[in-house]
Amino acid sequence: MTKLHPPGARSLLSVLVLLLAGCVAGGGPYGGPYGGPYSVPYAGQHLSPTECRDLAALKSNAPPTMAQHQSELVALRKAGYDPSPWYDDPYYPDDLQAAQRLVDYWFQTECPHIPGSPPNPPNTVPSSPANVR
């Protein structure tokens, strides 16, 4: 008995397998724990030096740049915030505020002290996004 496949089904299957393999190997198109723009750069550290610099600039009330806003969003995503593209997040603004608190904690504990910024507070904030809500 012969099986009939639609024309191009085999090539489509091959393409899907290759795309899936690429996402697994490279962390997907948006990065992730294995690579990409949203990955954690160093073991034990959550914020990259660029994110530290950009967050410090945003806290200084200087006119913000698009790159600084993008760095802030990357840091918020690392802290567990996932903005909904459809504006239907039932946890907004609580999830955003929890991520902001965690990013502030990371900034104060991981980034070099910047003149004019407050000193590092005692360790009172959990380091896991799941414990912040």
- Cα distance between residue 50 and residue 18, in whole Å: 33
What's the number of CA atoms in the CB half-sphere (13 Å) around residue 93?
Answer: 3
pLDDT band at 75 (very low <50, low <70, confident <90, very high): very high
Residue 108 lies in a domain: yes
Quick check: bond before 115 cis, omega within 30?
no
Number of domains in the chain: 1
Q: Are the beta carbons of 30 and 36 closer than 8 angstroms?
A: yes
Region for 27 from its dihedrals, namely left if φ exceeds 0, alpha if ψ lies in -120 to 50, beta otherwise: left
Residue 40 lies in a domain: yes
Q: Are the beta carbons of 99 and 79 closer than 8 angstroms?
A: yes
Residue 27 lies in a domain: no
pLDDT of residue 64: 95
Residue 92 lies in a domain: yes
Residue 71 lies in a domain: yes
Full residue range of the structural domain in which residue 42 is found? 36-131
What pTM does this model have?
0.56
Give pLDDT tens digits for 2-56: 666 666 656 655 545 544 444 443 333 334 443 344 444 445 789 999 999 999 9
